A and B are shown apart, each in its own frame.
Chain A
Amino acid sequence: MLMRTINRTEEAVICILLVAITLLVFADVVMRFGFNAGFMWSQELTLHMSAWFVLFGTSYGLKAGSHIGMDAFVKLFSFNNRRIMSGIGAILALVYCYLVLYGSWVYLAKMKKIGLTMEDLPIPVWLANGMLFVGFVFLTIRLFILLFAIITGKTDGFKHADEAKESMALAQEIMEEKRS
């Protein structure tokens, strides 16, 4: 139940961000063409929301198995060897997360210390760019879960097996709704 709530919240945030970006750009066009006006802040907000969208959504993408990779080589090996290779891969991906987390911490701390705000919005830079850190924390958690699944033999790679099940569940829900 808790996992389900977390999932739904995550999905909702991602969808809301994409819809908000689209509406904001559309509003820009309407304002300029229809009302001969414009917002100075809309470009900066749009661009930052798109960065939040990607950074926040990347860990979800790992869960949903939507990140693409080259699996041709790994496929040549047996299930257990694939697990070893993917395990190393997951650890390397964790190293990547660690490096980004470390770098972004230094960067954000520097911005906070200087007290820099964004160009058009009165928001501190460290807060606006903080999604860099948050997104990679989520990604780290997801990678640990994946690594655990690989170790316990539940999966052998980055494409999560649960994904198929889950989209089935969603399809079923839609079917049920249709019936009612």
Chain B
Amino acid sequence: MRMLDRLARWKESGAISKPQHDAIAGIVRKDRFSVYVELNILLYLGALSIAGGVAWTVREHFSDLGDFAILCSLSVVLVLSFYYCFSRVLPFSMGEVESPNPVVDYVLYLACALFSVTLGYIEFRFEVLKAAWDYYLLVSAALFFVLAYRFDNRFVLSLGLSTLAGWFGLRFWRFGFISPSSLRGAALAYGAIVAALGSFLQSREIKKHFFETYLHIAANVVFMAMLSGVDRDAGGWLWAAALVALGTFAVMMGIRNRKFAFVAYGTIYPYLGVSLELLRGIHDDVTILSYIVVSGTAVVVWLVYLARRFGRES
């Protein structure tokens, strides 16, 4: 039965009202066709392309263009962009505020990216902070967080979170910790701080809808950091055990909150970790393949159980 016929039948039976029928039928018939997603994609790709092009141009042609021309033009674009955004911003709310004009969201995103380019250029040419230049990252991240919350912008929030990750990586480098284990430490610290920050803001009811973004990034960073610890000469089992513990927690919380991506993380990463540790030093193909078949089947049975019990299509 065609959807329009179903709608007509539901209207006749009184299951839905005439206004409901008319609104939905208009969408089904495509009398009203939204290009919301398409416009957002164009704006995002446009902002991404401009920012990439500016960074490339400045890098390639700074000697021809000169500091004054580069800094002036970047400053003008930044001021105009921020002015445009602040002149159109909606009043702040702790809850979700959907921007009525998506252009503001992407101009803000572009401005943040250009801000990074500008700071990078200033340090490159004038060496203001010299050895401590990585603090630019921290300042940038802080600014991006403030703007993300003020404008309710997930793209800028993601930019802030990844900029913060860059700062963490650099701090550990600065301290001379350049071994893989120290980077793992940085990643774990970063993941813990991001998760804690997200939880704190969520508990204070400040933009609760951002919480999932924090958790996705924190979970992936922490899981990957732990996974990188497995298959080492020493301590591999500890990392595998930690992966299992965190994975169990992720699965439990994923099921409780019906966020099944976390169930997937909590299954895949620990499986990889435990498998790497179990198969370490084993070179016999039959043993390895048998292990994959048996253990993989066990995981599939477990996931099917979860899917049937909790993971209905949503």
A binds B: no
Binding site for B on A (CB under 8 A): none
- Listed in ascending order, the chain B residues whose CB lies under 8 Å from chain A are none
